Amino acid sequence: ASTGVIGEPMDAGAFTGLLADMASAASPAAWEDAARAIMTTDTYPKLSHATAELNGQTVHVAGIAKGSGMIAPDMATMLSFVFTDAMVDAELLQRLTRDTARQTFNSITVDGDTSTSDTVLVFSTGKVGRELTDPSSPEVLAFAEALHEVFLDLAHQIVRDGEGASKFVEIEVSGAEDDVAAHRIAMTLANSPILKAAIAGEDPNWGRVVMAVGKSGEAADRDRLEIRFGEHLVATHGQRAPGYSEEAAAAYMKQRELEISVDVGIAFGQARVWTCDLTHDYIRINADYRS
């Protein structure tokens, strides 16, 4: 795993001689130091921890991450390292990692830009309990829940710390042809510069939501389209909702945490993704800092 300016060779000799000293100086209390060491334009270190009870024993899942700009996983300038003391079959752990990343790290975006580096690694020391091998067992389900909690928390921290971000936005799409289509629609909304700018300007411009739905290329029924900003029904049956209040929606948009829900009226596919707004500070950061 690596990060830095693309195309600039890294001098490995600058740190290879330090590895032995770093290993001997390792400390259980150095989690924050490790999280801080991988930061680039991040404004704070990102850490998360969860536990699960497996057959009367407590197992831990702890992780760190970095990421603030060029965040559109598959691939992003995002690194995450997660550790557990649970004993998990390697193939099962790989499957859980892949599935959980799809629902979390691969469902966030800050700016829609990708990179040459995008890493999520999960390490198991196997110090606690019996080996987990059965995907349907209560123990594996409990461990998977703890893993998901850590992944999602770290993913959300990346979005909240997005370059120049002032808003945290959850976008939920339902009624799509399938879950893949719903995810594609949701990510199109989340990556739309003009919609993200409207969010930064606290403007409940639902026409920009409609634009992004169409831009996705996925099926949507105009006459069944429904849009909500939080609890505010903005559009129904493809038209402005009869009871819609622009004043109430504008007041809602002033909140730091927002929800945008869209039902495209085709079938039962659904997805949830997370993003932030696009502000003047994003331009300032990327104009002033070479990354």
Residues acting as catalytic residues: 77
CA distance 111 to 65: 18
**Kind and range of the H or E run holding 46:** strand 46-54
**Kind and range of the H or E run holding 123:** strand 118-132
Residue 251's beta-bridge partner residues?
Answer: none
User: Which alpha helices (H) appear in the chain, and where do they start and end?
Assistant: 13-16, 19-24, 31-37, 90-103, 138-160, 179-190, 193-200, 206-215, 246-252, 280-288
Residue 146: closest CA among 55, 57, 49: 49
Phi first, then psi: what are they for 242, rounded to 5°? Answer: -55, -40
CA distance 240 to 233: 9
